[in-house]
Structure 1
Amino acid sequence: MKFMEDKEAMFRRLASENLPPIKGLHRLTKWIEDRGLKRAAVTNAPKQNAELMISKLGLQDFFDVVILGSDCERAKPFPDPYLKALEVLNVSKDHTFICEDSKSGIKAGVAAGMPVVGLTTRNPETVLIEANPTLLVKDYEDPKLWEALEELDKRRGSGITKQFRRFNLI
Protein backbone atom coordinates (compact mmCIF):
# COMPACT_ATOMS: atom_id res chain seq x y z
CA MET A 1 0.00 0.00 0.00
CA LYS A 2 2.86 2.38 0.82
CA PHE A 3 4.32 1.80 -2.65
CA MET A 4 1.03 2.77 -4.32
CA GLU A 5 0.71 5.90 -2.18
CA ASP A 6 4.27 6.90 -3.07
CA LYS A 7 3.63 6.22 -6.76
CA GLU A 8 0.52 8.42 -6.78
CA ALA A 9 2.31 11.19 -4.87
CA MET A 10 5.12 11.10 -7.44
CA PHE A 11 2.57 11.27 -10.27
CA ARG A 12 0.95 14.35 -8.70
CA ARG A 13 4.33 16.03 -8.28
CA LEU A 14 5.32 15.37 -11.89
CA ALA A 15 1.88 16.30 -13.24
CA SER A 16 1.86 19.58 -11.34
CA GLU A 17 5.16 20.47 -13.03
CA ASN A 18 4.27 19.44 -16.58
CA LEU A 19 0.78 18.60 -17.77
CA PRO A 20 0.18 20.17 -21.16
CA PRO A 21 -3.35 19.99 -22.56
CA ILE A 22 -4.03 17.74 -25.52
CA LYS A 23 -3.83 19.81 -28.68
CA GLY A 24 -7.26 21.37 -29.36
CA LEU A 25 -8.67 20.74 -25.87
CA HIS A 26 -9.77 24.33 -25.32
CA ARG A 27 -11.31 24.52 -28.80
CA LEU A 28 -13.42 21.44 -27.99
CA THR A 29 -14.43 22.72 -24.54
CA LYS A 30 -15.54 26.00 -26.12
CA TRP A 31 -17.60 24.08 -28.72
CA ILE A 32 -19.27 22.14 -25.91
CA GLU A 33 -19.90 25.22 -23.75
CA ASP A 34 -21.27 27.22 -26.71
CA ARG A 35 -23.94 24.55 -27.16
CA GLY A 36 -24.82 24.36 -23.47
CA LEU A 37 -24.07 20.65 -23.26
CA LYS A 38 -23.81 19.01 -19.85
CA ARG A 39 -20.47 17.39 -19.09
CA ALA A 40 -18.82 14.96 -16.74
CA ALA A 41 -15.26 13.89 -16.13
CA VAL A 42 -15.26 10.11 -15.74
CA THR A 43 -12.00 8.63 -14.55
CA ASN A 44 -10.47 5.67 -12.77
CA ALA A 45 -7.82 7.99 -11.31
CA PRO A 46 -7.70 8.52 -7.55
CA LYS A 47 -9.60 11.63 -6.42
CA GLN A 48 -6.46 13.68 -5.68
CA ASN A 49 -5.03 12.91 -9.13
CA ALA A 50 -8.30 13.74 -10.89
CA GLU A 51 -8.66 17.03 -9.03
CA LEU A 52 -5.06 17.99 -9.79
CA MET A 53 -5.35 17.21 -13.50
CA ILE A 54 -8.67 19.05 -13.85
CA SER A 55 -7.28 22.06 -12.03
CA LYS A 56 -3.94 22.06 -13.88
CA LEU A 57 -5.79 22.05 -17.21
CA GLY A 58 -8.04 24.91 -16.08
CA LEU A 59 -11.19 22.78 -16.27
CA GLN A 60 -12.43 23.08 -12.68
CA ASP A 61 -15.42 25.20 -13.84
CA PHE A 62 -16.00 23.18 -17.01
CA PHE A 63 -17.31 19.89 -15.62
CA ASP A 64 -20.74 19.67 -14.02
CA VAL A 65 -19.71 16.51 -12.17
CA VAL A 66 -16.68 14.28 -11.64
CA ILE A 67 -17.34 10.54 -11.45
CA LEU A 68 -14.56 8.35 -10.10
CA GLY A 69 -14.33 4.64 -10.78
CA SER A 70 -14.12 4.19 -7.02
CA ASP A 71 -17.59 5.82 -6.73
CA CYS A 72 -19.07 2.83 -8.55
CA GLU A 73 -19.45 -0.84 -7.81
CA ARG A 74 -17.31 -1.56 -10.89
CA ALA A 75 -14.83 0.83 -12.51
CA LYS A 76 -13.87 1.00 -16.18
CA PRO A 77 -13.77 -1.14 -18.35
CA PHE A 78 -17.28 -1.74 -17.01
CA PRO A 79 -19.90 0.82 -18.08
CA ASP A 80 -20.91 1.70 -14.51
CA PRO A 81 -19.05 5.06 -14.25
CA TYR A 82 -20.53 6.32 -17.52
CA LEU A 83 -24.01 5.12 -16.58
CA LYS A 84 -23.66 6.92 -13.24
CA ALA A 85 -22.66 10.11 -15.07
CA LEU A 86 -25.79 9.88 -17.24
CA GLU A 87 -27.91 9.43 -14.14
CA VAL A 88 -26.33 12.31 -12.20
CA LEU A 89 -26.54 14.67 -15.20
CA ASN A 90 -30.05 13.44 -16.02
CA VAL A 91 -29.24 13.03 -19.72
CA SER A 92 -29.95 10.39 -22.33
CA LYS A 93 -27.18 8.34 -23.86
CA ASP A 94 -28.78 9.25 -27.20
CA HIS A 95 -27.51 12.81 -26.76
CA THR A 96 -24.03 12.02 -25.47
CA PHE A 97 -20.55 11.31 -26.70
CA ILE A 98 -17.39 10.32 -24.87
CA CYS A 99 -13.73 11.19 -25.41
CA GLU A 100 -11.33 8.51 -24.15
CA ASP A 101 -7.61 7.79 -24.40
CA SER A 102 -7.50 4.29 -22.93
CA LYS A 103 -8.68 0.88 -24.08
CA SER A 104 -10.57 0.30 -20.81
CA GLY A 105 -12.28 3.69 -21.10
CA ILE A 106 -13.34 3.07 -24.69
CA LYS A 107 -14.68 -0.35 -23.70
CA ALA A 108 -16.66 1.24 -20.85
CA GLY A 109 -18.22 3.86 -23.13
CA VAL A 110 -19.07 1.33 -25.83
CA ALA A 111 -20.60 -1.00 -23.20
CA ALA A 112 -22.67 1.94 -21.92
CA GLY A 113 -24.07 2.33 -25.44
CA MET A 114 -22.54 5.70 -26.30
CA PRO A 115 -20.36 6.81 -29.20
CA VAL A 116 -16.72 7.08 -28.16
CA VAL A 117 -14.05 9.28 -29.68
CA GLY A 118 -10.78 7.47 -29.06
CA LEU A 119 -7.63 9.58 -28.69
CA THR A 120 -4.28 8.12 -29.69
CA THR A 121 -2.41 10.44 -27.30
CA ARG A 122 -1.35 7.71 -24.83
CA ASN A 123 -1.92 4.42 -26.60
CA PRO A 124 -1.29 3.22 -30.15
CA GLU A 125 -4.14 3.12 -32.62
CA THR A 126 -3.77 -0.67 -32.92
CA VAL A 127 -4.53 -1.09 -29.20
CA LEU A 128 -7.46 1.33 -29.10
CA ILE A 129 -9.14 0.02 -32.26
CA GLU A 130 -9.64 -3.33 -30.47
CA ALA A 131 -12.05 -1.58 -28.09
CA ASN A 132 -14.24 -0.50 -31.05
CA PRO A 133 -14.36 3.32 -30.75
CA THR A 134 -16.79 5.15 -32.99
CA LEU A 135 -14.08 7.50 -34.16
CA LEU A 136 -10.32 7.44 -33.62
CA VAL A 137 -8.41 10.73 -33.68
CA LYS A 138 -4.87 11.95 -33.08
CA ASP A 139 -5.97 14.89 -30.86
CA TYR A 140 -8.82 17.41 -30.52
CA GLU A 141 -7.62 19.27 -33.64
CA ASP A 142 -8.04 16.20 -35.84
CA PRO A 143 -10.13 17.11 -38.92
CA LYS A 144 -12.15 13.86 -38.57
CA LEU A 145 -13.44 15.05 -35.17
CA TRP A 146 -14.41 18.47 -36.48
CA GLU A 147 -16.13 16.95 -39.51
CA ALA A 148 -18.26 14.88 -37.12
CA LEU A 149 -18.99 17.90 -34.88
CA GLU A 150 -19.95 20.07 -37.88
CA GLU A 151 -22.34 17.33 -38.96
CA LEU A 152 -23.85 17.35 -35.47
CA ASP A 153 -24.42 21.08 -35.71
CA LYS A 154 -26.22 20.66 -39.05
CA ARG A 155 -28.53 17.98 -37.65
CA ARG A 156 -29.19 19.32 -34.16
CA GLY A 157 -32.05 17.67 -32.40
CA SER A 158 -31.74 14.32 -34.18
CA GLY A 159 -29.53 12.76 -31.52
CA ILE A 160 -25.78 12.83 -31.15
CA THR A 161 -25.43 9.06 -30.98
CA LYS A 162 -27.28 8.56 -34.26
CA GLN A 163 -25.11 11.14 -36.01
CA PHE A 164 -21.81 9.82 -34.63
CA ARG A 165 -22.68 6.30 -35.76
CA ARG A 166 -22.29 7.53 -39.34
CA PHE A 167 -18.57 7.93 -38.64
CA ASN A 168 -18.01 4.48 -37.17
CA LEU A 169 -14.60 3.07 -38.03
CA ILE A 170 -15.49 -0.58 -37.99
Structure 2
Amino acid sequence: MDGVICHTNPYHSQAFREFFSKRNLSPTDEDFAQHMFGKSNSYILSHFLERVIEGKELLKLEDEKESLFRQLYEPHVDPVAGFVRFIEDLHTHDVQLGVATSAPRANLDLILSRVPVRSYLGSILASENVKKHKPDPEVYLTSARNLGVSQDRCVVFEDSFSGVTAGLNAGMHVVGVLTSHSRDELPPCHLYIEDYTQLDYQAIAALL
Protein backbone atom coordinates (compact mmCIF):
# COMPACT_ATOMS: atom_id res chain seq x y z
CA MET A 1 0.00 0.00 0.00
CA ASP A 2 2.57 2.59 1.14
CA GLY A 3 4.46 3.79 -1.91
CA VAL A 4 2.36 1.56 -4.20
CA ILE A 5 -1.23 2.78 -3.84
CA CYS A 6 -0.29 6.15 -2.35
CA HIS A 7 3.02 7.97 -1.96
CA THR A 8 2.82 8.08 1.83
CA ASN A 9 6.47 7.79 2.79
CA PRO A 10 7.12 11.56 3.08
CA TYR A 11 4.30 11.72 5.65
CA HIS A 12 5.58 8.66 7.51
CA SER A 13 8.98 10.34 7.63
CA GLN A 14 7.42 13.52 8.99
CA ALA A 15 5.45 11.58 11.61
CA PHE A 16 8.53 9.64 12.70
CA ARG A 17 10.59 12.85 12.87
CA GLU A 18 8.04 14.38 15.25
CA PHE A 19 7.80 11.11 17.20
CA PHE A 20 11.57 10.80 17.59
CA SER A 21 12.17 14.52 18.25
CA LYS A 22 10.12 14.13 21.43
CA ARG A 23 12.74 11.57 22.43
CA ASN A 24 15.73 13.74 21.43
CA LEU A 25 16.52 11.63 18.35
CA SER A 26 17.21 13.02 14.87
CA PRO A 27 17.37 10.26 12.20
CA THR A 28 18.73 11.31 8.81
CA ASP A 29 17.08 10.77 5.43
CA GLU A 30 19.58 7.97 4.83
CA ASP A 31 18.59 6.36 8.15
CA PHE A 32 14.95 6.39 7.06
CA ALA A 33 15.73 5.02 3.59
CA GLN A 34 17.62 2.08 5.10
CA HIS A 35 15.56 1.40 8.19
CA MET A 36 12.00 2.70 7.69
CA PHE A 37 10.60 2.24 4.18
CA GLY A 38 8.90 -1.14 3.91
CA LYS A 39 9.78 -2.14 7.48
CA SER A 40 7.42 -3.08 10.31
CA ASN A 41 6.99 -0.67 13.22
CA SER A 42 8.48 -3.32 15.52
CA TYR A 43 11.71 -3.22 13.53
CA ILE A 44 11.75 0.57 13.10
CA LEU A 45 11.13 1.38 16.75
CA SER A 46 13.55 -1.27 18.00
CA HIS A 47 16.26 -0.05 15.62
CA PHE A 48 16.03 3.65 16.38
CA LEU A 49 15.34 3.32 20.11
CA GLU A 50 18.18 0.75 20.30
CA ARG A 51 16.29 -1.85 22.31
CA VAL A 52 13.66 -4.48 21.67
CA ILE A 53 10.20 -2.92 21.49
CA GLU A 54 7.43 -5.49 21.84
CA GLY A 55 4.17 -6.35 23.57
CA LYS A 56 2.10 -3.58 25.14
CA GLU A 57 4.88 -1.02 24.71
CA LEU A 58 4.96 -1.70 20.97
CA LEU A 59 1.19 -1.25 20.70
CA LYS A 60 1.34 2.02 22.64
CA LEU A 61 4.23 3.53 20.68
CA GLU A 62 2.87 2.31 17.36
CA ASP A 63 -0.50 3.87 18.08
CA GLU A 64 1.18 7.18 18.96
CA LYS A 65 3.18 7.30 15.74
CA GLU A 66 0.47 5.99 13.41
CA SER A 67 -2.16 8.33 14.85
CA LEU A 68 0.22 11.18 14.12
CA PHE A 69 0.73 9.88 10.57
CA ARG A 70 -3.02 9.69 9.91
CA GLN A 71 -3.51 13.21 11.26
CA LEU A 72 -0.78 14.53 8.93
CA TYR A 73 -1.79 12.51 5.87
CA GLU A 74 -5.60 12.62 5.97
CA PRO A 75 -5.87 15.98 4.12
CA HIS A 76 -3.50 14.73 1.41
CA VAL A 77 -4.66 11.19 0.49
CA ASP A 78 -4.10 10.81 -3.24
CA PRO A 79 -3.27 7.66 -5.25
CA VAL A 80 -0.17 7.32 -7.40
CA ALA A 81 -0.91 8.61 -10.92
CA GLY A 82 -2.97 6.18 -13.00
CA PHE A 83 -3.53 3.72 -10.15
CA VAL A 84 -7.34 3.67 -10.05
CA ARG A 85 -7.67 3.40 -13.84
CA PHE A 86 -5.15 0.54 -13.84
CA ILE A 87 -7.02 -1.36 -11.12
CA GLU A 88 -10.29 -0.91 -12.99
CA ASP A 89 -8.64 -2.31 -16.13
CA LEU A 90 -7.40 -5.37 -14.23
CA HIS A 91 -10.85 -5.86 -12.71
CA THR A 92 -12.57 -5.83 -16.11
CA HIS A 93 -10.21 -8.64 -17.14
CA ASP A 94 -11.25 -10.73 -14.09
CA VAL A 95 -7.88 -10.41 -12.34
CA GLN A 96 -8.00 -11.37 -8.66
CA LEU A 97 -6.79 -8.39 -6.61
CA GLY A 98 -5.58 -7.93 -3.05
CA VAL A 99 -3.65 -5.54 -0.85
CA ALA A 100 -0.94 -6.76 1.54
CA THR A 101 0.62 -4.11 3.78
CA SER A 102 2.92 -3.92 6.78
CA ALA A 103 0.89 -0.91 7.93
CA PRO A 104 -1.83 -1.07 10.61
CA ARG A 105 -5.45 -1.66 9.56
CA ALA A 106 -6.41 1.89 10.54
CA ASN A 107 -4.00 3.31 7.94
CA LEU A 108 -5.36 0.92 5.33
CA ASP A 109 -8.93 1.93 6.13
CA LEU A 110 -8.02 5.61 5.80
CA ILE A 111 -6.57 5.13 2.32
CA LEU A 112 -9.32 2.80 1.11
CA SER A 113 -11.91 5.32 2.31
CA ARG A 114 -10.46 7.85 -0.18
CA VAL A 115 -9.17 5.64 -3.04
CA PRO A 116 -12.21 3.88 -4.59
CA VAL A 117 -10.86 0.34 -5.08
CA ARG A 118 -12.03 -1.58 -1.98
CA SER A 119 -14.88 -3.28 -3.87
CA TYR A 120 -12.32 -4.80 -6.29
CA LEU A 121 -10.19 -6.39 -3.55
CA GLY A 122 -10.70 -10.06 -2.75
CA SER A 123 -8.04 -10.06 -0.02
CA ILE A 124 -7.16 -7.27 2.41
CA LEU A 125 -4.29 -7.92 4.84
CA ALA A 126 -2.65 -5.47 7.26
CA SER A 127 0.02 -5.86 9.93
CA GLU A 128 -2.48 -7.32 12.39
CA ASN A 129 -3.13 -10.25 10.04
CA VAL A 130 0.39 -11.72 9.92
CA LYS A 131 2.93 -13.04 12.41
CA LYS A 132 6.02 -12.52 10.24
CA HIS A 133 6.65 -9.24 8.45
CA LYS A 134 8.37 -8.54 5.14
CA PRO A 135 10.88 -9.68 3.88
CA ASP A 136 9.21 -12.87 5.09
CA PRO A 137 6.73 -13.92 2.35
CA GLU A 138 3.86 -14.77 4.75
CA VAL A 139 1.64 -11.83 3.79
CA TYR A 140 1.92 -12.62 0.06
CA LEU A 141 1.48 -16.36 0.42
CA THR A 142 -1.60 -15.73 2.58
CA SER A 143 -2.96 -13.29 -0.01
CA ALA A 144 -2.51 -15.89 -2.76
CA ARG A 145 -4.42 -18.46 -0.70
CA ASN A 146 -7.19 -15.96 0.00
CA LEU A 147 -7.51 -15.26 -3.73
CA GLY A 148 -7.26 -18.89 -4.78
CA VAL A 149 -4.30 -18.18 -7.07
CA SER A 150 -1.06 -20.18 -7.26
CA GLN A 151 1.99 -18.16 -6.30
CA ASP A 152 3.62 -18.53 -9.73
CA ARG A 153 0.57 -16.76 -11.22
CA CYS A 154 0.84 -13.79 -8.87
CA VAL A 155 2.34 -10.35 -9.54
CA VAL A 156 3.45 -8.26 -6.58
CA PHE A 157 3.78 -4.45 -6.73
CA GLU A 158 6.39 -3.18 -4.27
CA ASP A 159 8.43 -0.04 -3.64
CA SER A 160 10.80 -1.18 -0.88
CA PHE A 161 13.77 -3.54 -0.60
CA SER A 162 12.09 -5.70 2.03
CA GLY A 163 8.81 -5.76 0.08
CA VAL A 164 10.43 -6.77 -3.20
CA THR A 165 12.38 -9.43 -1.32
CA ALA A 166 9.16 -10.74 0.23
CA GLY A 167 7.54 -11.03 -3.18
CA LEU A 168 10.55 -12.85 -4.62
CA ASN A 169 10.73 -15.11 -1.56
CA ALA A 170 7.09 -16.01 -2.24
CA GLY A 171 8.03 -17.20 -5.72
CA MET A 172 6.05 -14.42 -7.40
CA HIS A 173 6.71 -11.94 -10.21
CA VAL A 174 7.53 -8.48 -8.86
CA VAL A 175 6.95 -5.02 -10.31
CA GLY A 176 9.19 -2.40 -8.69
CA VAL A 177 7.32 0.87 -8.12
CA LEU A 178 9.95 3.62 -8.08
CA THR A 179 8.23 6.06 -5.73
CA SER A 180 10.65 5.60 -2.83
CA HIS A 181 13.80 4.09 -4.32
CA SER A 182 15.68 3.92 -7.61
CA ARG A 183 15.87 0.59 -9.43
CA ASP A 184 19.51 0.25 -8.32
CA GLU A 185 18.38 0.35 -4.69
CA LEU A 186 15.95 -2.57 -5.12
CA PRO A 187 16.56 -6.26 -5.75
CA PRO A 188 16.13 -7.21 -9.44
CA CYS A 189 12.43 -6.97 -10.42
CA HIS A 190 10.61 -8.34 -13.46
CA LEU A 191 9.42 -4.82 -14.39
CA TYR A 192 9.91 -1.28 -13.10
CA ILE A 193 7.41 1.60 -13.22
CA GLU A 194 7.41 5.25 -12.13
CA ASP A 195 3.60 5.27 -11.91
CA TYR A 196 0.64 3.50 -13.55
CA THR A 197 -0.11 5.90 -16.39
CA GLN A 198 1.48 3.68 -19.06
CA LEU A 199 0.50 0.34 -17.50
CA ASP A 200 -2.40 -1.93 -18.44
CA TYR A 201 -3.64 -5.52 -18.19
CA GLN A 202 -1.73 -6.63 -21.30
CA ALA A 203 1.61 -5.51 -19.84
CA ILE A 204 0.99 -7.52 -16.68
CA ALA A 205 -0.30 -10.58 -18.53
CA ALA A 206 2.93 -10.54 -20.54
CA LEU A 207 4.92 -11.11 -17.34
CA LEU A 208 3.18 -14.46 -16.89
TM-score (structure 2 length as normaliser): 0.66
What is the root-mean-square deviation in Å for CA atoms of aligned residues?
1.8
CA distance in 1, matches of 2:111, 2:163: 17
Instruction: Quote the offset at 1:136 in angstroms.
Output: 1.1
CA distance in 1, matches of 2:76, 2:180: 15
Instruction: Quote the offset at 1:76 in angstroms.
Output: 1.0
1:45 is matched with 103
> Residue 64 of structure 1: SS of its match in structure 2?
strand
1:168 is matched with none
> Residue 118 of structure 1: SS of its match in structure 2?
strand
Instruction: Quote the offset at 1:81 in angstroms.
Output: 0.5
Name structure 1 gaps, 5 residues minimum.
153-159, 166-170
The reply on whether 1:136 has 2:192 as its aligned counterpart is: yes
2:13 is matched with none
CA distance in 1, matches of 2:207, 2:91: 19
Q: Within 5 Å, which residues of 2 pair with 1:4-153?
A: 4-128=62-186, 131-142=187-198, 145-146=199-200, 149-150=201-202
CA distance in 2, matches of 1:3, 1:114: 33
2:207 is matched with 164
Name structure 2 gaps, 5 residues minimum.
1-56
Instruction: Quote the offset at 1:39 in angstroms.
Output: 1.0
Label 1:151 to 1:121 Cα distance change in 2 as closer, same or farther (>3 A): closer
Q: Which has the larger radius of gyration?
A: 2
Higher relative contact order (CA 8 A, sep 6+): 2
Residues 1-54 of structure 1: per-residue CA shift (max 9 Å, x gap): 444322100111122110211011012111111111111100000111111112
CA distance in 2, matches of 1:3, 1:75: 18
CA distance in 2, matches of 1:12, 1:69: 16
Residues 78-133 of structure 1: per-residue CA shift (max 9 Å, x gap): 111000011111111232211112211111111111111111112233212xx221
Identity of aligned residues (%): 29
Alignment coverage as a number of residue pairs: 150
